[in-house]
Every structure is written in C-alpha cells, then in structure tokens.
Structure 1
Amino acid sequence: MLAEAFSTSLTSALIGAVAGAMGALLMALISWLIAMGWGDAVLLGQPANGPQLLQLLLPLGAGLAIGLLRQRGADPLPELHSTIEELHEHGEHKLQPRSSHWLLGLLALVGGGSLGPEALLSRCLAEWSIGLSRWGWFKAIPWRGASAISGSLGLFGLPLVGGVALAERPDRPLPAGLWRWLPGVVSGIAGFAVFQGFSRFGDGEQTVRYVWPHSLAEISQNLVWALLLGLIGGVLGLLFLGLRRHLSRTLKRWNPLSQALLTGGVLAAMSQLQPLALMSGELQITPMLQGALVTNGHTLMLLGLLKLGLCALCLSSGWIGGQFFPLIFGASAIGMGLGELWPQVVPGQVAVSSLTAAIQSAVLGQALLPLLITAAVLKGHALAGALIGSVMGLGVRQITNAKKRD
C-alpha cells in the first residue's frame, strides 16, 4: 500500500510539473497575443490601451471566426467540468483530441471574451496526456489526464483544487478514498511549486490585509453579514445559471454564426463603454481590491453584474472558456461595491469573500472546491467569510432544487 502510494505520488508529481510547464508556455502565448491586440496594460489588470479600432475589430473578428468554424461542424471547447466528467465517466482513453478545441478556446480569449483560461488549459493538457501512451513507461501511469489538469490548475496558484475537483462532484459532495485525492493533490502541488512558487502563499491578497474584528459586537456583525451575503451570493449564482439557460434557449433558434457575431458585437461595444468587463478578470482582481481600478460603489456593482452577464452570454453562444475567474471577479466587485456604498454597515472584506465563495458553490453545486478556489485566489483573505459563504451558497442551491422536485 505504501509503495503504491509513493509510486502514484511520484508519477503524478512528474506529470503535474510537466503539465505546469506546458501550461506556462500556453499562457505565455495567450498573454503575448492579448498584449499585441489589446495593449500591455491589460496584462497589469488595467483597461486596454491598444488602438481603439483594433479593440472594436478583435471581438468582431473573433466572433466571425468562431461562428464560421462552428457552422462548419467544429467541436466546441468543453468546459472544465465537462472534461472532468469525461474522465470520471469514460476514462482517459475516451478523450477525443480535437484541434478545434484549442483554436476556438484561443479565439474566445484573445477576442476579449469574459472567460477564464482554465477550460482551455485543462482540455489541452488532458488531451496532451493521451500522447504519453505512445511511451511504454507512461502508458502504465494511472490518472494521466487528471494529473495534467491538476498541474495546470497549480499554475494559477490553486495547488489543492485539482485533487478536490477530481474527487468532489455535485452528486457526491463528500468524497472519500485515497486514490481519488492523491494524484490530483500531488500533481497540483507540483505544478504550483515549479511555476507558481510558494513565495506568495499565505501573504493575503497582496497589500490588502484583512482586519480581524476586535470585539464581540464586530464578530457578531461580521457573522451576520457573512450569512446574509452568502445567501445573496447563492441567489446570484442561481440567477447566473438561469441566465445561461435562458440565453441558450433563445439563441438556439439562431445559427452558430449569428450567435458568435452577436457576442462579438456586444463585446466590441463593451470595449468602449466598460472595458474592465472584458477578459477573465484574473489579472484585475488584485488591482481592484487595492482600489487602483474603480472606487465608486455603484460603478463597482454594475461592473460585477456586467462581468457575470457577459460570461453567461459567451458561454451560451459558442464562446467557450472558464467561468471561475469571471465569477470571482464579478462577486468581488459587487462585494466591494456594497462595502463602498455602506462602509459603516457592510464589512467590505467579508462581503468580498462571502459573495465569491457563495456564488461558486451555487453554480458548481459543491462546497469544498469553491472554498479552496476562493482561499487560493484571494490568498486567504477573510477566509472565515469564504467558509460561511460556500456553505450558504450550496444550501441555497440544494433547497431550490428540492423545491423544484416537489
């Protein structure tokens, strides 16, 4: 048993580290293409500073390309949860590599879609792991695809998320069994350590320190707000899912080209009206929490809602990518906005962490995974609020689903 665990850990760490390296190269390519079109400021989390004409043409061009490819039968990029479900249900040997996956995913990201890169990276690296079967030693390694996905998530500073994502599922929220945890956790830590490093771990959201409550009254206030905002975050998550379903039903009557062009046109218009609503939000989170982007409460709340709405539109119209970072940024912006509007009433830091964890729990139907994602992305910022928010968000989803069944 111990020897098998050691062997699994060693091979998973190797694949995770290699996947982290390949993920870093792919992210470098994405960043270079985005900087070429949108300007270097985007990589710092700032509004685009590229030529305005190019900011209009990029989403439209990407929409045209996505629409034409899909109209000709190109398979869309699966979302991260779909890739994980394929691994669960069919195993690694059933994954079908498609060049259209990375091409459509790349177009959506470079075109300014409000999408995260994790879906593209996870799928590409899972498909890459199939190529390892050509070598006899690698062919015998279990969990190749799972370890590759986990290593890619480690690249984003999420070292434990891969193990939980591969073990926790909406129909089984409390996973058990060493072999469902070990490969993902070890490979995720390897990808994190090699290309993210532990230097930033535990520092809190950079230069944004969490102020712990100093009295029983403050503790009670934070607890009440964490519960309330967790409830609100859960409702936001359900509204996000409802918007996706509504848009999917509405746009289903349109052909793929019209769907993609519509989204491209909306993104092009938004690039002039509110450019911060574009992109994944991954690089915008820290400067936003530092107050370097927007400080007006109403603007922050509108920005958060726009990010969520654009993400839902993209995912419903063939612009496929990740939803983790748009959800986190959108919820963080709304939480900050509430704190700015009522600073004496709403604890802003608790609002950010509670809403962020709750909206993910409601969308994913899980509690532990959103907690780890929130803790990793916000670097432990107001972790107690995230813990309460993740439970509240899952509770809202489960209660709502139970009422629908009745």
Structure 2
Amino acid sequence: MDSHKIRNRALFLAAVVFTGALAGAFVWAFFFLMNIGLNFIWKTLPEKTGFAFFPLVVCIVGGLVIGLYEKRFGPYPEDLNSVMKKVKENGRYEYSDIGVSSVAALLPLLFGGSIGPEAGLTGAIAGLCTWVGDRMKRFGSDFKNLTSIGTSAALSAIFTAPLFGFAAPIYGSCEDNQDDDVLVLPKTSKIVVYLCAIAGALGAFMGLGALFGGGMGLPRFTDISIGAVELVWLLPITLVGAAGGWLYHLFDRFSLGFSTLLGDRPVVKAVIGGAVLASCGMVLPFTMFAGESQVHTLSGIWMTMPALVLLLTGFAKLFTTPFCIRTGWRGGHFFPVIFSGISIGYGCAMLTGADPVFCLCACTAAVCGGVMRQPLMAVLLLFLCFPVKGVVVMLVGAIIGSAIPLPGFLKPDPEIDNLKPSSLKTD
C-alpha cells in the first residue's frame, strides 16, 4: 500500500472519530438547551404566575409560536424515516436549513409536546456531516460516507444504544463501488469505522454530560424474574402491548385525516394540537413531554397509582404523540412510545402480580414492535433500558406486536408521510 493511500485512510479514520464526536456534542448541546428551557417554562414560570390552567395557556401559546414558525419557514423538521431514506439513497443530506430545522425541532419539546427529539437531531447532524464531507472530499470520495456514519453516531448518542445506532443506518447505506478512486470499505472495515464513530459520539456526549450536566437517558431496569407466573401471563401481556402498537397506527390515521380536513392552516392546526395536548395533560399529566424524565418519576410512584390510570396513561400517550406530530408539533415517536409501553406494563404488573420488569419488557417490546414493524430493531432499541436477560421476552413481544396485521387504510403511505419540507412551505 502506497503512502498516499495510508495517509488518506488515516485521515479518514480521524475524520470518522471527529464526526462521531461532533454528533455527540451536538446532541448534548441540544439536550442541554432543551432542559434549560423546560425548567424555565415548566418550573420557574408556574411558581411565579400561579395560573390554574397553566398547561393550557402554555400549550396554546406554544401552538401559536409553532404554527407561525411553520408558516414562515415550512414544516420542519423532517421525520426520521425521511432523513434515513435520503441518506441511504443519496449518501448525503442537504444542510442549507440546519438552523431552521434545529429550532423547529426544539420548539415543540419546550412547550411540552408528546414527541421525541430524534427526528430533528438526526436531520441536523446528517446535514452537518454532509457539510464536513463536502469540504474533505478532495482527500478521497470515501468521505461521502461521513453522512451515514454521522447518522449512526447521532442515533447512538440520542438513545445511548450503540447497537441500535449501528444497525439503523448501515443497512443499504453504503454500496460497493468498483471505482479505483473510491476507498471501498470491506465488511469488517465498515464495522470498525462505524464503531469508531459511535465511540466518539458516546464519548463526547457522556463526557460533556459528566462535566456540565444535561443529556437524556431512560432508567436502567436490571432485576428481572421469570417464573411460572410470568410465563402464564406472557401471551396476554404481550397482546395488550400489541394492541397499543396497533392503536398507534389507528390514532395516526385519525390524526392525519383531521389535519387534512383543516387544510393548509398551520397556525390553526398547531393551536388545536396544543389545546388537545394540554387537555389530556391536565387529566393524565404523563401524556405530555417526550417521556424520558417521566419514566424516572413513574418508576418511583407506579405502585401508588391505580392500574386503570397506568393503562389509560399509556394508551392516551399513544394518541397524543401522533396527534401532536400531525398538527405541526413535529418530532420523533420513539421516546413517547417506549414510555407508553412502560406505563401499560406497570398497569399489567399491578393487575397480574407478575414481575414488574418482566411485564415492562414484554409490553414495551410489543408496543414498539407494533409501531416500528421491525422486531429486531425494536429489541436493539430497548437494550437502552432493559436487561439482556430479558432478550427472549422482548423478542417474543416484538415479534407478536409486529405480526398483528394492519388493514390497508392504516398502513403508512410514503407519498403522504415522506413529503419534503420544501414542497410544503406555506405563503
């Protein structure tokens, strides 16, 4: 191997680690700003104002801000599937609107939206990595892979789930190219490259969190007991979770139909979305927000709550999430869906007397499997909070959840769900 190729490969690996660290730092900064804003809006302001219907006021104001922002700039951010599809098909993601998209991703989270941050973050980081790759392509066209690599690193940092971050973008993201001018990464080398990027992302994310605080993270459930009682209840609990996954698609189609009925009125839709979100939140408080910090709270108080409230909270959140997204409170659905599965799982544990963590594993995996329709990816995602000892339970739940068929009218429509923001801008 000549010195030119050695230099380019060394430079490429350095760029990979840098890309991963950049993704991790960006995720940390986003969460840091988000936590500051949430504390101010939802802790400081209520103490100073004392409004009786504070959530309703904040969510309606939030809907107004979100709607006006969309009317000015368009429906940002794009959903995660759209970002991943573009990265896989084009090997890049346009970065001209990174700032606009990042602010659009932050606004609904600050105002209590029942959404996750992964959609806006992944798009912003994919754009940043494309920008870096464009400026380094003179060192070799292999640098076009930085976009896919950065996407992998971003997902790993967002969910602190390296296996999910590794698997989600790599399938089909890099095709073999026989051009002699392109560095063709063999399978083993590709794995090493992605793992280096993930290590850089997690290192930067966790390092900044340790130094300055901030970040997100679901609690780790470690003690699981599987005995005769749990095995008896495995199928019923899984079916309850699978029903939640099925209902998510029903709620999503209803929300899409409602949004379509309102037409091109982003402000009206966002205000209605905020009013519905706040109304649900005043009855069942855990139906608001992404769900990450709420899981920590719920895990400490669930035994003091009626089983019916736990079940209703989980199923209601499966409604508020797609309703928020379809009415302009755009974001991801992974964190809220995981919270829903955990809440429903606690309700099942209360009713059956089975081991709580067992119920959480089975129910959450079934909900995620039903929503994602990809059982393996659902299990890889859930390793961020559930023990490896529960992998068989999670596989069973995810497979059953994804196996329950969806009628044609509930199946996602790419022509509707993956529209480009630029094609939907309002005057």
The answer to whether the superposition gives a TM-score over 0.5 is: yes
Task: Choose which of 127, 148, 151 in structure 1 pairs with 2:150.
Answer: 148
**2:340 alignment counterpart:** 330
Tell me by how many angstroms 1:125 deviates.
Answer: 1.1
Task: Choose which of 20, 24, 31 in structure 2 pairs with 1:27.
Answer: 31
Residue type matched to 1:124 in 2? A
> SS of 1:141's equivalent?
helix
Task: Choose which of 206, 214, 230 in structure 2 pairs with 1:222.
Answer: 230
The alignment status of 1:298 with 2:303, answered yes or no, reads no
Residue type matched to 2:156 in 1? G
Which sits farther off after the overlay, 256-265 or 293-302?
293-302
Residue type matched to 1:159 in 2? P
Tell me by how many angstroms 1:367 deviates.
Answer: 1.7
Tell me by how many angstroms 1:377 deviates.
Answer: 2.7
8 Å contact kept, 2:148–2:170: no
Gaps of 5+ in 1: 42-47, 170-175
> SS of 1:349's equivalent?
helix
Q: 1:93 to 1:372 in 2, by over 3 A?
A: closer
Find the aligned partners of 2:81 and 2:96 in 1 and give their Cα distance.
Answer: 16
Any residues of structure 2 matched to 1:312-391 within 5 Å, and which? 312-343=322-353, 346-378=354-386, 380=388, 382-391=390-399
Which sits farther off after the overlay, 32-41 or 246-255?
32-41
Q: 1:59 to 1:374 in 2, by over 3 A?
A: same
Tell me by how many angstroms 1:353 deviates.
Answer: 0.8
Amino-acid identity (%): 24
Residue type matched to 1:104 in 2? A
8 Å contact kept, 2:225–2:355: no
Tell me by how many angstroms 1:223 deviates.
Answer: 3.5
Which sits farther off after the overlay, 228-237 or 59-68?
228-237
Tell me by how many angstroms 1:36 deviates.
Answer: 0.8
**1:159 alignment counterpart:** 162
* Residues 209-261 of structure 1: CA deviation (Å, up to 9, x unaligned): 42433xxxx25x43443344333323321220121012101221212222111
Find the aligned partners of 1:181 and 1:290 in 2 and give their Cα distance.
Answer: 39
Find the aligned partners of 1:143 and 1:52 in 2 and give their Cα distance.
Answer: 52
The alignment status of 1:210 with 2:223, answered yes or no, reads yes
Residue type matched to 2:336 in 1? P
* Residues 275-296 of structure 1: CA deviation (Å, up to 9, x unaligned): 2221100112233223368532
* Residues 49-103 of structure 1: CA deviation (Å, up to 9, x unaligned): 7755354332112211222233345132111122111111222055653543222
Tell me by how many angstroms 1:120 deviates.
Answer: 1.9
Find the aligned partners of 2:235 and 2:198 in 1 and give their Cα distance.
Answer: 31
8 Å contact kept, 2:241–2:344: no
Find the aligned partners of 1:225 and 1:109 in 2 and give their Cα distance.
Answer: 36
8 Å contact kept, 1:63–1:263: yes
Q: TM-score, normalised by structure 1?
A: 0.81
Which protein has the larger Cα radius of gyration, Structure 1 or Structure 2? 2
> SS of 2:115's equivalent?
coil
Find the aligned partners of 1:394 and 1:179 in 2 and give their Cα distance.
Answer: 33
Any residues of structure 2 matched to 1:235-250 within 5 Å, and which? 235-250=243-258
Q: 1:177 to 1:303 in 2, by over 3 A?
A: same
The alignment status of 1:188 with 2:221, answered yes or no, reads no
Tell me by how many angstroms 1:379 deviates.
Answer: 5.0
Task: Choose which of 319, 323, 329 in structure 2 pairs with 1:309.
Answer: 319
Q: 1:291 to 1:382 in 2, by over 3 A?
A: farther
Gaps of 5+ in 2: 173-185, 211-217, 412-427
Any residues of structure 2 matched to 1:106-125 within 5 Å, and which? 106-125=106-125
**1:173 alignment counterpart:** none
The alignment status of 1:266 with 2:276, answered yes or no, reads yes
Q: 1:99 to 1:17 in 2, by over 3 A?
A: closer
Find the aligned partners of 1:193 and 1:129 in 2 and give their Cα distance.
Answer: 18
Q: 1:94 to 1:106 in 2, by over 3 A?
A: closer
8 Å contact kept, 1:231–1:396: no
Find the aligned partners of 2:10 and 2:400 in 1 and give their Cα distance.
Answer: 38
Q: 1:238 to 1:105 in 2, by over 3 A?
A: same
8 Å contact kept, 1:16–1:151: yes
> SS of 1:160's equivalent?
helix
Task: Choose which of 235, 242, 264 in structure 2 pairs with 1:234.
Answer: 242
> SS of 1:196's equivalent?
helix
Find the aligned partners of 2:116 and 2:292 in 1 and give their Cα distance.
Answer: 7
Q: 1:292 to 1:249 in 2, by over 3 A?
A: closer
Q: 1:51 to 1:296 in 2, by over 3 A?
A: farther
Find the aligned partners of 2:156 and 2:75 in 1 and give their Cα distance.
Answer: 27
Q: 1:12 to 1:359 in 2, by over 3 A?
A: farther
Find the aligned partners of 2:289 and 2:92 in 1 and give their Cα distance.
Answer: 31
Find the aligned partners of 2:10 and 2:57 in 1 and give their Cα distance.
Answer: 52
> SS of 1:58's equivalent?
helix
Find the aligned partners of 2:191 and 2:402 in 1 and give their Cα distance.
Answer: 22
> SS of 2:143's equivalent?
coil
Tell me by how many angstroms 1:153 deviates.
Answer: 2.6
Find the aligned partners of 1:291 and 1:252 in 2 and give their Cα distance.
Answer: 39
Q: TM-score, normalised by structure 2?
A: 0.78
